[in-house]
Amino acid sequence: MNTIFENEFLILKIDTEKDIFYAEWRPETENMDVPEYLENGARILQNYLKSKCRNGIINGIDFKFPISPDLQEKIAQGMIAQINGKVDKLAHIHPVDFIASLSTKQLWEENQNKTYSEHFFATVDDAIAWILKG
């Protein structure tokens, strides 16, 4: 995988051979505020759309930012809705932090009109295997 972006909260990579866009949240998300979360979420979306990859993995194992219900709805109606029709499979790696895990799962479940397959996994290897299974 080639790294295309990196900051204190996030690493973005692309694997063109496997057609996978990869976003990894870092432990520093514990110190992130709402504007930083929205900025980094928008960065994921922009880079995903630019990558033209048909599959994505969002590794949130170290994600520690609690997403409020209002913010979940805003993200679901705005950013997440924009990937419909542009992604085939989207895999999520569960955050270890309970609150972050719950709020992340609720965020992705907000999008009821999704046109892609989506699953939650404990490891990146399991997510890649599912994507490559066809």
Q: What is the pLDDT of residues 35-84, one digit of tens each?
A: 999 999 999 999 999 999 999 999 999 999 888 888 877 777 777 778 88
Pairing of strands 10-15, 2-6: antiparallel
pLDDT given for residue 109 in this prediction = 63
Q: What is the pLDDT of residue 69?
A: 81
Q: What is the pTM of this model?
A: 0.86
Please, what are the domains in the chain? 2-132 (3.30.750.24)
The rounded percent of the chain whose pLDDT value lies above 70 is: 84
Q: Is the predicted pLDDT of residue 97 greater than 70, yes or no?
A: no
Beta-bridge mates of residue 2? 14
- Rounded to the nearest integer, the mean pLDDT of the chain is 87
**Which residue carries 């979420």 as its tokens?**
41
